[in-house]
Structure formats: structure tokens, C-alpha cells
Amino acid sequence: MIASRARLRYSRQIGKLIGFRLPEGAFHGATLEALLSVPYDSFDRSTREQIVAFIKSFLSCKCQENPFCGCPERKFVKEIIELRESGLDHIQISQYLRDEFGIEIYPADILSYLEESVHLLEAIQDIADQFHVPRMQELVELHIRAIEKGTPVISES
């Protein structure tokens, strides 16, 4: 999954504060726990804002197992798809994630993920066709076009 390729640019800083080395993965359990417990006043304003944005965007769910519930990864995936559907290309998405959340991810990884997403949506579209679910086919086609062209999803109904 694409979330496993994301790294936090300030994971070393957090590791120094908590006294042990953190895994680089932005969505690794130890990293998520550290983000929720680290004293934010130790960081410069920009890093502090990125950490708060990361927590608000990806760690704010009501699951009992939070942050180990899978919601952070799902929210991250949704963010990438929504950024693409808003018109950003894979390079711009990578830059946005770095600037907004301190998440570093290679543009090529994002591009591969978007291509995989289109293939998955095409499979869903085929299943919807087999089971005669035209509304699902239409919705999936809208998302395929939006991801391929980087245009917003505009539903006809």
C-alpha cells in the first residue's frame, strides 16, 4: 500500500526527543504513537504546524484502536486520490504532502499508486457490468476519468 512508502521528514527529531530511534514510515505504529505523545513546543513553528496538520488529517477518528485501526492509512490514500481529482499531478501531490504534513514520498510511487487505482476501478467496473449495476459503472467511470485526467468528479445526477 502507498502508505507504507510515506516517510516523516521530522522522525529523527521526534526520536531524539523521546529517546529512541523511530522507524521512518509515517504510518508505522511506533511513529503514530510518538506523534500523539511528543511535546510539540520543542519544534519550530513550521514543524509544529505540520505535526498538528498530520494529526488532524490522519489520526482523528473515534476508533477504540486508534491509531492502529487502519484509519490513518485509509485517510492518507483518500487524500492522494482527492488531490489527484482536484487537478494536481503526482509531482505536485508529493510536494503538497511534504509542505503540508512533512510527509516525504517519491512522485513515482504516487504515480504507480494512481495507475494501480485505475486498474482496480476498471475491475470494479467490470464486476458492476456483470451484475448489471449501471449506477456503479457510471460512478466508477467518473472516478477513472478524474484520476486519469486530474479533473474533479462531476456526477450527472
Res. 82: pLDDT tops 90? yes
pLDDT at 58: 97
pLDDT digits (tens, 9 = 90+) for 12-58: 999 888 888 999 899 999 999 999 888 888 899 999 999 999 999 99
Q: Which structural domain, as residue segments, surrounds residue 38?
A: 2-106
Please report whether residue 148 resides in a domain: no
Mean pLDDT computed over every residue of the chain:
94
119 lies in some domain = no
In a domain, 82, yes or no: yes
User: What total number of domains does the chain contain?
Assistant: 1
Residue 95's φ and ψ, nearest 5 degrees, are -65, -40
Residues 6+ apart with CB under 8 A from 53: 100, 101
What pTM, to 2 d.p., does this model score? 0.92
Span 8-14, average pLDDT:
92
Express each pLDDT in 58-72 by its tens digit.
999 999 998 999 999
Is 101 inside a domain boundary? yes
**9 in a domain, yes or no?**
yes
Cβ neighbours for 57, distance < 8 A, ≥ 6 positions apart:
75, 79, 101
Please choose, from the candidates 39, 3, 5, 95, the residue with its C-alpha nearest in 3D space to the C-alpha of residue 13: 39
> Please, what's the largest Cα pairwise distance for the chain?
57
What average pLDDT does this structure show over 117-130? 97
Q: Tell me, yes or no, whether 66 lies in a domain.
A: yes
So what's the pLDDT on residue 157? 54
Residue 98 belongs to some domain of the structure:
yes
Identify the three-state secondary structure at position 104: strand
Running DSSP on this structure, what letter comes out for residue 23? P
Can you tell me which residue has the cell 513553528?
Answer: 45
- The answer to whether residue 120 is domain-embedded is no
pLDDT at 1: 85
pLDDT digits (tens, 9 = 90+) for 87-106: 999 999 999 999 999 999 99
